[in-house]
Amino acid sequence: MVSFEMNDTKKIGIGLTGFGVLFSFLGIVFLFDKGLLAMGNILFLSGLMLTIGLKSTMLFFTKPKNYKGTAAFGVGFFLVLFGWPIFGMILEAYGFVILFSGFWPTIAVFLQRLPIVGWIFRQPFVTSLFGRFRGKRLPVVYWKYFYAVNWICSGTLTQSLLPENPGWTYQSSMSHGNSGGSSVVVPRNFRLLEELERGEKGIGDGTVSYGMDDADDIYMRSWTGTIIGPHNSVHEGRIYQLKLFCDKDYPDKPPTVRFHSRINMTCVNVDNGVVEPKKFSMLSNWQRDYTMEHVLTTLKKEMASTHNRKLVQPPEGTFF
């Protein structure tokens, strides 16, 4: 079962990060109070390390492409500690923009949906500014951190604060019991981030794989899957490409699955390659613990079943 492990250490880390942001904000409000700013910096970095781990934090800040941002953020950090808060915060802000530019698309969507002030962030000159700083997709662990901070620090977001987009919809999601026996509702994106991470690490013997269609799609809707045909069947050695679409109701409802490569199977529509739920029991009897990995591995098993293993197939390399 795919899960987002929110242990006590991560909860403390997210809490420290929230306090770090609060102290930094208060430090700026009180005319760059160096004590508040220094405390905010220390709490923020401590929270970051506790949440994503010391190793992941070090890897993030020491990546070659992040050297400029790390240098600016580090110098600004020490300037604040040694009593130069204004210059320190200017350098920190510059470093922060460079380091966390991969989060700008998601931050922009959230800001644009804020009540009262959201219209400001929807203005053309503001959206172009966000687009200018847009970076490449960050590793999974940092997206987890961003969504976790937003989720925990905001408590329970009201519907008015949520964009009308599937990436932020709080559906009835995976519930995880904790030591007190209570459960928490996990947003859709946590589930998909875990699936993405597992897909990037590789599945079993490599005959089944999947990944995102568009690395810049912050709502994680479109996915590509690959199945290498099972042994002792007409599918042996063939490589089948599939498209999976996870709508806003996923994982409460199954993804839409469609073969891109032509295939002859009892559960696949001969005209468009869609896997028909009525003929594929996993989709018709969907359970929220199922994942895209389960779908692909079950389809592979279905290829080797008695009613599919000997069916005449279209020419290899043709597509729907």
Q: How confident is the model at residue 6 (pLDDT cuts 50, 70, 90)?
A: low
Report the distance separating Cα 317 and Cα 238, nearest Å: 9
Higher pLDDT, 130 or 208: 208
User: What per-residue confidence (pLDDT) applies to 9?
Assistant: 80
User: What per-residue confidence (pLDDT) applies to 83?
Assistant: 84
Domain shared by 16 and 154, yes or no: yes
User: What per-residue confidence (pLDDT) applies to 24?
Assistant: 86
Token code pair at residue 195: 């699936």
Token code pair at residue 185: 């509702």
**Total domains, the chain:** 2
Please, what is the average pLDDT of the chain? 77
Domain shared by 44 and 130, yes or no: yes
Lowest mean pLDDT of 76-85, 287-296, 308-317, name the range.
76-85
What percent of the chain is predicted at pLDDT more than 70?
71
Average pLDDT over residues 28-51: 86
pTM of the full structure: 0.52
Residue 102: strand, helix, or coil = helix
Token code pair at residue 149: 């901070």
Report the distance separating Cα 237 and Cα 241, nearest Å: 13
| Residue 311 domain flag | no
| Residue 175 domain flag | no
Range of the domain at 204: 189-303
Higher pLDDT, 115 or 261: 261
- Does residue 229 surpass a pLDDT of 60? yes
Token code pair at residue 252: 């409460």
Domain shared by 130 and 232, yes or no: no
Domain shared by 143 and 23, yes or no: yes
Domain shared by 134 and 211, yes or no: no
Domain shared by 195 and 274, yes or no: yes
Report the distance separating Cα 10 and Cα 51, nearest Å: 4
- Does residue 272 surpass a pLDDT of 90? yes
| Residue 309 domain flag | no
| Residue 308 domain flag | no
- Does residue 160 surpass a pLDDT of 50? no
Q: How confident is the model at residue 147 (pLDDT cuts 50, 70, 90)?
A: low
Whole-number CA gyration radius for the chain: 23
User: What per-residue confidence (pLDDT) applies to 300?
Assistant: 95
CB atoms closer than 10 angstroms to residue 283: 20
Highest-confidence segment of 11-15, 147-151, 211-215, 225-229: 225-229
Place of tokens 């009180």: 30
Domain shared by 193 and 154, yes or no: no
Run of H or E residues at 240: strand 239-245
Question: Could you give the C-alpha distances from 68 to 41, 91, 99, 129, in angstroms and in order?
Answer: 19, 11, 9, 20
Higher pLDDT, 102 or 61: 61
CATH of the domain at 195: 3.10.110.10
| Residue 124 domain flag | yes
Choose the final residue of a domain: 161, 177, 200: 161
- Does residue 15 surpass a pLDDT of 50? yes
- Does residue 136 surpass a pLDDT of 60? no
| Residue 183 domain flag | no
- Does residue 41 surpass a pLDDT of 90? no
Domain shared by 62 and 152, yes or no: yes
| Residue 315 domain flag | no
Higher pLDDT, 215 or 264: 264
Token code pair at residue 96: 């922060």
Average pLDDT over residues 173-201: 63
User: What per-residue confidence (pLDDT) applies to 259?
Assistant: 96
Average pLDDT over residues 166-187: 44
Domain shared by 284 and 211, yes or no: yes
What's the start-to-end Cα distance of the chain, in Å?
A: 32
Please provide the DSSP assignment of 140-179 as one string. HHHHHHHHHHHHHHTSS--GGGS-SSGGG---S--EEE-T
Average pLDDT over residues 64-69: 81
Report the distance separating Cα 309 and Cα 312, nearest Å: 9
Domain shared by 47 and 133, yes or no: yes
Domain shared by 153 and 208, yes or no: no
What percent of the chain is predicted at pLDDT more than 90?
27
Domain shared by 150 and 73, yes or no: yes
| Residue 21 domain flag | yes
Residue 203: strand, helix, or coil = coil
Highest-confidence segment of 125-129, 159-163, 176-180, 206-210: 206-210
